């Protein structure tokens, strides 16, 4: 089985479509695993929810999904995020809301746990350091964990002796999944934050137990034009150029 692993789509339909096209060109997928934040920041929340739901998939809730349907407040959001969230809420259909409300905070799929933030704090923790990852392995009930939230492609390993290591996941990396526990962030589809504006995702092939990390260019200026037209905050428009 081949799994497409995507996080932080953030209502960026151009990026989402480019990723799906890229996966298609690489042999396609059997199931899509989405790590939350389908909506928020970007210009096409409804279309992204709809496109995701057209595929066989599993998805867990991100903080922006929960905020868009009022399940959590926006007091911890910065001003542009809060403004985009309020706008997003107005764009969702009743069906979108029902779907987003139904998303669980975590999901177990075989040897994998899926969470937006971390095993310790499924919604909120930004898992970016080896020390934090090391602590989080003790909260993890499975061999592997997939996370989103930081929008940075990362891999953390714990060997059989309990030693942890890890760091940034480079593009075109092939990652063997045997002999170690792993926490992997596929990076962000719709708003990458690692200095590379290209959409980021992972394919997991369960037959050979290998993950592949890919980056995909998309029409950033098209997304930005839509955002300007909708008067979404200019800082959210600009950051897509640089991937921060
Ligand atoms: Zn996010």
Q: What is the pLDDT of residue 171?
A: 86
**pLDDT above 90: residue 241:** yes
CA–centroid distance, 161 to ligand 1, in Å, is 33
**Helix residue ranges, H only, the chain:** 13-25, 45-53, 63-68, 79-91, 94-102, 130-137, 220-229, 234-242
CA–centroid distance, 184 to ligand 1, in Å, is 15
Please give the full DSSP string across 144-198, using - where no structure is assigned.
EEE--SS-SEEEEEE-TTS-EEEEE--TT-EEE-SSSEEEEEE-BSSS--SS--S
Q: What is the pLDDT of residue 200?
A: 98
CA–centroid distance, 78 to ligand 1, in Å, is 13
User: Can you identify the CATH homologous superfamily of domain 2-242?
Assistant: Metallo-dependent phosphatases (3.60.21.10)
For 201, the enclosing helix (H) or strand (E) is: strand 199-205
CA–centroid distance, 162 to ligand 1, in Å, is 30
CA–centroid distance, 61 to ligand 1, in Å, is 10
CA–centroid distance, 188 to ligand 1, in Å, is 7
CA–centroid distance, 115 to ligand 1, in Å, is 12
Q: What is the pLDDT of residue 41?
A: 97
Q: Structure tokens of 24? A: 């298609």
Q: What is the DSSP letter of 155?
A: E
Please give the full DSSP string across 75-92, using - where no structure is assigned.
TTS-HHHHHHHHHHHHH-
What is the CA 68 to chain-centroid distance, rounded? 16
Q: What is the pLDDT of residues 44-88, one digit of tens each?
A: 999 999 999 999 999 999 999 999 999 999 998 999 999 999 999
CA–centroid distance, 190 to ligand 1, in Å, is 9
46 and 97 in contact (C-beta within 8 Å)?
A: no
CA–centroid distance, 52 to ligand 1, in Å, is 16
Q: What is the pLDDT of residue 83?
A: 96
Q: What is the DSSP letter of 188?
A: B
CA–centroid distance, 165 to ligand 1, in Å, is 24
Q: Structure tokens of 48? A: 């992204």
**pLDDT above 90: residue 42:** yes
Q: What is the pLDDT of residue 227?
A: 98
CA–centroid distance, 160 to ligand 1, in Å, is 31
Q: Chain-wide mean pLDDT for the chain?
A: 97
**pLDDT above 90: residue 109:** yes
Contacts for 158 with CB less than 8 Å, ≥ 6 apart: 133, 134, 137, 164, 180, 181, 182
CA–centroid distance, 147 to ligand 1, in Å, is 11
CA–centroid distance, 94 to ligand 1, in Å, is 22
Integer Cα distance of 46 and 52 in angstroms: 10
Q: What is the pLDDT of residue 113?
A: 98
146 and 114 in contact (C-beta within 8 Å)?
A: yes
Integer Cα distance of 68 and 65 in angstroms: 5
Q: What is the pLDDT of residue 172?
A: 85
Closest to 151 measured CA to CA, from 196, 100, 106: 196
Integer Cα distance of 92 and 100 in angstroms: 10
Integer Cα distance of 112 and 161 in angstroms: 20
CA–centroid distance, 130 to ligand 1, in Å, is 20
CA–centroid distance, 7 to ligand 1, in Å, is 8
Parse the chain into domains and list their residue ranges: 2-242
Q: What is the pLDDT of residues 182-231, one digit of tens each?
A: 999 999 999 999 999 999 999 999 999 999 999 999 999 999 999 999 99
CA–centroid distance, 10 to ligand 1, in Å, is 7
């Amino acid at each position: 089985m081949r799994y497409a692993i995507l996080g932080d789509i953030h209502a960026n339909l151009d990026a989402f479509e480019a990723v799906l096209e890229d996966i298609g060109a690489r042999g396609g997928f059997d199931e899509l695993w989405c790590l939350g934040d389908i909506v928020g920041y970007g210009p096409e929340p409804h279309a992204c929810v709809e496109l995701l739901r057209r595929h066989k998939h599993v998805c867990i809730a991100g903080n922006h999904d929960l905020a868009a349907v009022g399940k959590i407040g926006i007091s911890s959001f910065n001003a542009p995020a809060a403004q985009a969230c309020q706008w997003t809420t107005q764009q969702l259909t009743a069906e979108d809301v029902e779907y987003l409300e139904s998303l669980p905070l975590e999901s177990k799929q075989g040897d994998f746990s899926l969470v937006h933030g971390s095993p310790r704090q499924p919604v909120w923790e930004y898992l970016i350091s080896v020390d934090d990852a090391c602590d989080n392995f003790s909260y993890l009930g499975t061999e592997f964990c997939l996370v989103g939230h930081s929008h940075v492609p990362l891999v953390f390993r714990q060997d059989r002796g309990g030693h942890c290591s890890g760091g940034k996941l480079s593009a075109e990396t092939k990652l063997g999944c045997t002999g170690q526990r792993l926490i992997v962030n596929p990076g962000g589809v719709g708003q990458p934050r690692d200095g590379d504006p290209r959409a980021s995702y992972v394919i997991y092939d369960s037959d050979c137990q290998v993950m592949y990390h890919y980056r995909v260019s998309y029409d950033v200026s098209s997304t930005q034009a839509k955002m300007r037209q909708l008067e979404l905050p200019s800082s959210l428009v600009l950051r897509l150029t640089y991937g921060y």
